[in-house]
Amino acid sequence: MDKKNIVVSGAAGRMGKTICKMIIKEDNYSLAAAIDVLNINKDIFNLLGINSSRQVLIKKNLKNVIENVTVDLVIDFTNPEVVMKNIETVLAKKVKMIVGTTGFDQSDLKKVKKMSEKYEVPIMIAPNFALGAVLMMEFSKKAAKFFEQSEIIELHHDKKIDAPSGTAVKTAEMISESRSKNNKERDQDFLEKLKGARGADYEGVHVHSVRLQGLVAHQEVIFGGEGQTLKIRHDSINRESFMPGIKLAIDKIDNLEGLIYGLEKIMDI
């Protein structure tokens, strides 16, 4: 089987480095290029502490790179400010894309869907590539039918730029869609003595964001009903937790069409 030539955008970042390591280790994948605005012209193998006779120098210009190397797929883990531009650049070249960068709103997703249809190339965006996190969301969707009230607490490392996390927003959307009409949360008036004490409010689902050193990515969904609570919790204790989901996306993307939003779409749940 031919190796998949993969370009990683955001390669010098926390997620990017873990993804490059995974690609280098896998027999069926080849790291075609590494893009970042940091560590330009440094060898990614060197940066990762991997001995190799091959060199892949980090480049800044994604467009130049995809015009000049053999590339089957671009994986983007950069930041919300640059990701839309990267998507336009990659899809316009008819190259498939997997995006883990978070911070998309509904209008961004509409634009991406249009682009993937216009250029007839698939793109997969998932706010969370951890299989366990996807199951946590699915179980929360199921539980929401039976509980009147729910709150989400998401906890991440202190370098995360966006809040709430993409996973928390998606969970809130899924809970809201799944709640039965009789189960709509009744948000009573409360006296907020400290602004923000009740967190963000997505159609009655309150979302609380914790940012602390020492954390990676965690989320707890708490459901409350008469005389009982149910807690569903997922913890990513390191960035390797996202790799099986990313590999699943890499292996399935050739058979997909248009915009696929959410890892659950390609998991046989």
- Under the rule (CB under 6 A), what is the footprint of ligand NAP? 9-10, 12-16, 35-38, 77-79, 82, 100-102, 126-129, 160, 242
CB 75 within 8 A of CB 246: yes
CA angle, corner 117, sides to 104 and 90, nearest 5? Answer: 65
Active-site residue flag, 93:
no
**SS3 state at 2:** coil
Q: How far is the CB of 121 from ligand NAP (least distance, A)?
A: 20
Active-site residue flag, 156:
yes
Task: Write out the two tokens for 164.
Answer: 């709430």
CB of 153 or CB of 243, closer to ligand NAP: 243
Distances in Å between the alpha carbon of 224 and those of 24, 82, 133, 140, 207? 46, 39, 21, 12, 15
CB of 35 or CB of 253, closer to ligand NAP: 35
Please compute Rg for the chain using Cα positions.
20
Residue 3 gets which letter from DSSP?
P
Choose the catalytic residue: 111, 157, 160, 252. 160
Instruction: For residues 50 and 21, give the distance between their C-alpha atoms in angstroms, rounded to a whole number.
Output: 9
Q: How far is the CB of 201 from ligand NAP (least distance, A)?
A: 22
With a CB cutoff of 8 Å and minimum separation 6, the contacts of 33 are 7, 8, 56, 59, 65, 69, 71
CB of 40 or CB of 197, closer to ligand NAP: 40
Q: How far is the CB of 5 from ligand NAP (least distance, A)?
A: 18
Instruction: For residues 247 and 22, give the distance between their C-alpha atoms in angstroms, rounded to a whole number.
Output: 9
Task: Write out the two tokens for 61.
Answer: 């210009």
Choose the catalytic residue: 21, 156, 218, 234. 156
CB of 16 or CB of 122, closer to ligand NAP: 16
CB of 15 or CB of 179, closer to ligand NAP: 15
Partners of 8 in beta bridges:
34, 75
Q: How far is the CB of 102 from ligand NAP (least distance, A)?
A: 4
Closest-by-Cβ residue to ligand NAP is 13
Q: 């699943």: which residue's tokens?
A: 248
CA atoms within 13 A on the CB side of 142: 10
Catalytic residue numbers?
A: 156, 160
